[in-house]
Structure 1
Amino acid sequence: MANYDVIIIGSGPGGYVGAIRCAQLGLKTACVEGRDTLGGTCLNVGCIPSKALLHASHQLHEAEHNFAKMGLTGAAPKVDWKQMLAYKDDVIAQNTKGIEFLFKKNKVDWIKGWASIPKAGEVKVGDEIHTAKHIVIASGSEPATIPGAEVAIDEKVVVTSTGALELNKIPKTMTVVGGGVIGLELGSVYARLGTEVTVVEFMDGITPGMDLEVAKQFQRILAKQGLKFIMGAAVSKVAATKTKAKVTYKLRKDDSEHTLDTEVVLVSTGRKPFTEGLGLDALGIEMTPRGQIAQSSYRTNIPGIYAIGDAIEGPMLAHKAEDEGMAVAEMIAGQKPHVNYGVIPGVIYTHPEVANVGQTEEQLKEAGVAYKIGKFSFMGNGRAKANFAADGFVKLLADAKTDRILGAHVIGPMAGDLIHEVCVAMEFGAAAEDLARTCHAHPTYSEAMREAALACGDGAIHA
């Protein structure tokens, strides 16, 4: 038993960042983690391994489709799936060991095991009770199942994102249930590796909540890459055998029932807070109707207990959790932190990438805000054309009267990096003209962002 100022439950992006920040601020800190490695879902079975496979499969795509155009000839590369998985695992190991090193460097204790909270001020791990003035729940999330459907996930034939990262072979066919970020990223990986991928989505468009114009263009590009889409379909059953699965669904437009035979089913219908085993009911911690921990400025209704990240309301994004991890640490240390939830970017790491920040055109219309649009196609960007990456566009939304930037939506090369220029601009309340008058290096993809800002005024130069 040890006494701490802060015990954080969970070592994902919110938990480990919060723990390190607490230690940096002079608080005696421990982090409880039941996995064999630190980093939570993100580093072990989420963000990091999926990006490794996206990168590897994109290199294959480039070799197959673009190398010869650049005068790079030779035998086509062959896919060694075991080696690709080994590469993915090595990337995971490098990152998780990196967190372990940071814990040692900052004198954060790693309490190994699964936690429960018997009462305020106490955390139980195994048979031991650890005490702390402050307890932070950063337990993350887990895959959600298909609402109202019969589904038996075995992580071999019917898989979540976890199982999809370690299939024993590349399947000939895969059905992805859910047209959101996770399904489209992993669907893209397998499509590049030769799998026939079919996406079954309940809504009439993919990536619900995204700017509609971007979402439509995104779906058209993915369709050109070979992904098939069945929209407006409600999945009622996923039946698995040892070697294949059958997906049953109804089309909402006519209530007709259909089936799909497939080698693998990837269930990617979102995620839900992972709070099982913490003892929240016995503690009397208030929850939202969606199963999240209710909180105000990360404080739960029980004094001394806080919650952040995927366990609470808001987008389930690693960087949102990181910001909250720093904020709750600084708050416990007596500071007055602030997280600007209006400037939380989102990224989809397909090719092309898709990124957004701020409000969509649909949200501005619904709110009755007068706005103007600046658009620029990557077809007008010299770097993008040279790199066979000219699909997509930048869309900047600004207030019609003040010119203040209200949102940005990008589909194109390196969109996940380009979006941060707008994040910084929005954080400082910049106008589109401010961005337009900022010199951008040539030739870079970032010039497309400047051109979109120019289009909010007198017009883009290269359009």
Structure 2
Amino acid sequence: MKASKILVLAVAASAIATFVVFDLGRFLSLEALRQSQDALAAQYAANPWGLRAAYFALYVLVASLSLPGAVILTLAGGGVFGLGWGLLLVSFASSLGATVSFLAARFVLRDMVQARFGARLADINQGVARDGALYLFSLRLIPVVPFFVINLAMGLTTMRTRTFYWVSQLGMLAGTAVYVNAGTRLAELQSLKDIASPQLLGAFVLLGVFPLVAKALMNFIQQRKVYARWNAVRPQTFDRNLIVIGGGAGGLVSAYIAAAVKAKVTLVEAHKMGGDCLNYGCVPSKALIKSAKLAHQMQHAERYGLHSTPRTSDGRQNLFSFKAVMQRIHDVIAAIEPHDSVERYTGLGVEVLQGYAKIVNPWTVEIALNDGGKQTLTTRSIVIAAGARPFVPPLPGLDKVGYVTSDTLWDEFAKLDEVPKRLVVLGGGPIGCELAQSFARLGSAVTQVEMAPRIMAREDAEVSELAANALRADGVDLLTSHKALRCEIVNGEKVLVVEHAGVEKRIAFDQLLCAVGRSARLAGYGLEELGIPTHKTVQTNEYLQTIYPNIYAAGDVAGPYQFTHTAAHQAWYAAVNALFGDFKKFKADYSVIPWATFIDPEVARVGLNEQDAKEQGIAYEVTKYGIDDLDRAIADSEAHGFVKVLTVPGKDKILGVTIVGTHAGDLLAEYVLAMKHGLGLNKILGTIHTYPTLAEANKYAAGEWKRAHQPHKLLEWVRKFHDWKRG
């Protein structure tokens, strides 16, 4: 702790100790006030401004140190100065003293508290930013809540100082007036109970609750206002409890949950059930990655004591049929399709309609069926789970040269007799990196273009560097800090023109893959006509509600994460809130979100990495274990990568984990479980891990943390004990 903070604590502790040791509290009693009232009155008459200043300073001191006696001082204000001056002095002195206490707590403790509990306090900080003034005002009006507790607690939040001051000034005014007025009748008071009667306290509690009731009433009025223009078309009865738009992960889980709780639910999907993940994303890309990895292992079989597969004279691999590889990918999709099929979900109790859905009012959905028909349904609630599509940059000449995306390449490349000879990949995110490495391993001459200084920018710099080295080792010509300018056809050859450090460079290619991100599907669903705000995604609150409380969004269309597992995670909240929100609503929880990029070696992460922690100002310790030391990794010739764990300084509480290495996505699950349920590294270290497995890396990482936090003084005494035992 800094010397300045220690000094503040020392001054406060000394003042409090002086108050206690010298029993100064005896001067702040009702009896002592009565005995000194005449003397104070005489002094006030002789030197009114001097006494006012001394009284003001004393009140600020008592309030700032949270010393007992503020009530007696308030009574004294009324008894000595009268209602007018007493109210003025006490109101400003109490607010100023409370603010000093607030600032002291902030200066001494807030950084430490936010560093240790920042993740848990995130929701509180957001709530304070949104409604902090309202809640502080309510607390100030309820005298049963100790004000010093409020001062200290608010100092630990992100509330602005001036907001704290003016809300305290206003919120304490009513109670201050009551006590100052009581002080003007000091001779009549027998005890403080004569002031703080149950009736008065009850009145203040009701007064304090009023702003919260008013807020709820305002929310109700706002909801009625949102629905006002639709009241004429609101159905008296409804065809469905829930209509879900989109048959991807978010939509399927929403519909499944509704059917499981016996709600009448309709799922509308215009194209393929299973959405992007099954048909264009997770499933086909992982099937491709598996084939590419096996081809890579065959090419480097000498690492395993075997003969490598030879290449052709032009350096291309001669060990597979590209058509067969693409056919296998489609076979994998077909094998998984029944899990997400119309038949399966119909069997679960979900009505599945194939067509395009449009919301025409908050309770009505029109479906243009794929067979040419049309159906209109009314519903209590709606979940929009329309997903996202690849973003295609506005690159001049792009349409002329032609391109594929992560959605279209599976069908387009299936038409090819062989792997593309020269492939350009635009984008250095997870999708671009996975596909660039895979096609390079299958024999394409891959050039990957990224405008940013490094690939996988959401990861720590060392992870980006390791990923870049892995791609380059597989033959990818990785061009970072290169901006794509335009596409051209020169003498029948397709060319991408890029710029680097002010110099243009021309890259010839046969196929171009756009993998620069994905954008939410927002058009065509009636969102604009309903006035539902969208900015890159559908705007929702913490319950995944749009401005219409009965219309929800989940998955890629809602953000903030574009992962299949977060879409399914959000779908639970959206469906449960839509069906049971009248009784209880649940805030979507993003506290423990894992993800992985399936390059080789894999990159997996949950929680904070160093980059995030620094940006958010969160204190952390780093523990790192190199997988090159792991027995199973050595045996598998996969001895590269690391486990990096961020913990609270001095504690084993996990803030985040990054794993780079083979099967990193699988290894991460242990840390996801630990973080979700508040388990620290000591618990992981105390868990038996099968030998020899890759999972031992997690145990050894925990062991590295333990060694760095050995109780050295205790161990020195233990050494002396053993020396004594030996005689």
**Same fold at TM > 0.5:** yes
Cα 1:275–1:74 shift into 2, 3 Å: closer
1:229-286: CA deviation from partner (whole Å, max 9, x where unpaired): 11111112134699753111212xx322222111111111100001221121111111
Residue type at the aligned position of 1:165: W
Name the aligned partner's letter for residue 348 of structure 2.
N
The residue type paired with residue 403 of structure 2 is V
2:185 corresponding residue in structure 1: none
**Residue 404 of structure 2 aligns to which amino acid in structure 1?**
V
Residue pair 1:239, 1:245 contacting (<8 A) in 2 also: yes
- Per-residue CA deviations over 1:23-59 (Å, capped at 9, x if unaligned) read 1112111110011x31011111111111111111111
Per-residue CA deviation, residues 331-378 of structure 1 (Å, 9 max, x unaligned), is: 223254454312111111122111001011022123332211111111
Moved more, 428-437 or 232-241: 232-241
How far apart, CA to CA, are the structure 2 residues paired with 1:25 and 1:451? 44
Identify the structure with the greater helix proportion: 2
Amino acid of the residue matched to residue 298 of structure 1?
Answer: L
Q: Distance in 2 between matches of 1:75 and 1:221?
A: 22
- Alignment equivalent of 1:360, drawn from 592, 596, 609: 609
Q: Aligned with 1:456: secondary structure?
A: helix
Please tell me whether residue 292 in structure 1 is matched to residue 534 in structure 2. no
263 and 132 in structure 1: CA distance in 2 versus 1, 3 angstrom threshold: same
| Aligned twin of 2:409 | 164
Which residue identity does 2:268 align to in structure 1?
Answer: V
For 1:158-191, what per-residue CA distance to the aligned partner results, in whole angstroms no more than 9, with x for missing partners? 1111233231331111111110011111111211
Q: 1:79 aligns with which of 320, 336, 340?
A: 320
Compute the displacement of 1:5 (Å): 0.8
| Cα root mean square deviation, aligned | 2.2
- For 1:175, which of 413, 424, 442 is the aligned residue? 424
Give me the whole-angstrom Cα distance separating, in 2, the residues matched to 1:451 and 1:329.
41
CA deviations on 1:186-205 (whole Å, 9 max, x unpaired) are 11121111011111111111
Distance 1:332 1:302, change over 3 A: closer
Equivalent residue for 1:407? 656
Report the alpha carbon displacement of residue 90 of structure 1 after superposing the two structures with TM. Answer: 1.5
Q: Give the secondary-structure state (helix, strand or coil) at the position aligned to 1:278.
A: coil
1:385-412 superposed Cα distances (whole Å, 9 cap, x missing partner): 1112112111111111332100000110
**Which residue of 2 is the match for residue 94 of structure 1?**
335
Output the amino acid matched with 2:335: Q
Q: What is the SS of the residue equivalent to 1:409?
A: strand
What is the distance in 2 between the residues matched to 1:399 and 1:261? 50
Q: Distance in 1 between matches of 2:496 and 2:523?
A: 29
Question: Greater strand percent: which structure?
Answer: 1
Larger Rg, first or second structure (1 or 2): 2
Q: Given that residues 552 and 578 in structure 2 are in contact (C-alpha distance below 8 angstroms), is that contact kept between their aligned partners in structure 1?
A: no
> How far apart, CA to CA, are the structure 2 residues paired with 1:393 and 1:340?
28
Q: 1:203 and 2:203 equivalent? A: no
Match of residue 316 from structure 1: 562
Q: Note the 1:115-194 alignment, pairs <5 A.
A: 115-126=357-368, 127-146=374-393, 149-150=395-396, 152-153=398-399, 157-166=402-411, 167=413, 168-169=415-416, 170-194=419-443
TM-score, scaled relative to structure 1: 0.92
Aligned-residue offset at 1:313: 2.6
2:344 counterpart SS class:
helix
Measured in 2, the distance between the counterparts of 1:403 and 1:179 equals 34
Q: Indicate conservation of the 8 Å contact 2:423/2:511, yes or no.
A: yes
Q: Which runs of 5+ in 1 are unaligned?
A: none
Change in CA separation of 1:443 and 1:25 when aligned onto 2, cut-off 3 Å: same
Are the structure 2 counterparts of residues 447 and 240 from structure 1 closer, same or farther at C-alpha, using a change threshold of 3 Å? farther
Q: How far apart are the structure 2 equivalents of 1:393 and 1:415?
A: 9
Greater relative contact order structure (CA < 8 Å, 6+ sep) = 1
The residue aligned with 1:305 is 551
Give the one of 592, 595, 602 matched to 1:346: 595
How far, CA to CA, are the matches of 1:301 and 1:26 in structure 2?
A: 27
Query: Are 2:496 and 2:508, in contact at CA under 8 Å, matched by a contact in 1?
Result: yes
Question: What amino acid is aligned across from residue 443 of structure 1 in structure 2?
Answer: P
Q: Which residue of 2 aligns with 1:383?
A: 632
Q: In the aligned structure 2, how far is the partner of 1:73 from the partner of 1:176?
A: 28
Residues in 2 aligned to 1:41 and 1:199: alpha-carbon distance in whole angstroms: 23
* Alpha-carbon distance, 1:70 to partner: 3.8
| Separation (CA, whole Å) in 2 of partners of 1:338 and 1:362 | 27
CA distance in 1, matches of 2:556, 2:303: 44
Decide whether the 8 Å contact of 1:144 with 1:270 is kept in 2.
Answer: yes
- TM-score, length-normalised on structure 2? 0.60
Instruction: Report the Cα offset of residue 73 of structure 1.
Output: 7.7
Instruction: Tell whether 2:347 aligns with 1:105.
Output: yes
Would you say 1:4 and 2:240 are equivalent positions?
yes
Residues 242, 328 of structure 1: CA spacing in aligned structure 2 closer, same or farther, 3 A cutoff?
A: farther
Distance 2:647 2:299 in 1: 40
Say which SS state the counterpart of residue 42 (structure 1) adopts. Answer: helix
Task: List gaps (5 residues or longer) in structure 2.
Answer: 1-237, 312-317, 369-373, 710-727
Residue 62 of structure 1 corresponds to which residue in structure 2? 297
Residue 150 of structure 1 aligns to a residue whose secondary structure is coil
Which residue of structure 2 lines up, in the alignment, with residue 272 of structure 1? Answer: 519
The code of the aligned residue for 2:257 comes to R
Is 1:258 the counterpart of 2:513? The answer is no
